[in-house]
Structure 1
Amino acid sequence: MTNGPNRILDEFAKLMTDAAGAAQGVRREVETAFKSQAEKVLNSMDVVQREEFDAVRDMALKARAENKKLEARIAELEAKLSKASGEVPEAAPKRSAKPSPKK
């Protein structure tokens, strides 16, 4: 058993170690409660998750690229058809890449 100031310092160090451990436990509990509450609020707002947004965005980009390929193929086929029938091909209306803004 230690005596004097060393014992007091040892007890103080043990007390501080225990307090730090308790503070970490409280911090973890607060973080868990905060995350749970934030997730609950986001779910009630019908906010889409990032993974779902990225998946739909990728699908839209692929669909847009496929549409461009198909438009080019249709134009090529129409040109061949009109050349074969001897008609003058109609100029297809050009569409802008961006949709018009909604008012």
Structure 2
Amino acid sequence: MPKITYIEHNGTEHVVDVPVGLTVMEGARDNNVPGIEADCGGACACSTCHVYLHPDWIEKVPAADPMEEDMLDFAYEPEPGRSRLTCQIKVTDDLDGLVVQMPEKQI
């Protein structure tokens, strides 16, 4: 099972085993990781599951589709190339070791 590291804005780390096939957002939700609110439940209709990919992972995570890119316009302090919505990242074995950092807040 892939391990995902979620880093809160204050630096607190949560290392979680997330089953293949779930999303990074579902892994956070199912393990009570604070900082990912996921108000829309994964429908890509808000930006409350926004994170920053660790620089080592930017090229390893599949690119965002146009709908996700549009929703990122509503995220708190998005960073081009690093910002992603965790509801849109499906967990695969290739994502074992993924590190994501939460913004200061979700809006």
Q: TM-score, normalised by structure 1?
A: 0.17
Structure number having the greater helix percentage = 1
- Please identify the structure whose Cα radius of gyration is greater: 1
After TM superposition, the score normalised by the length of structure 2 is 0.16
Higher relative contact order (CA 8 A, sep 6+): 2
More strand by share: 2
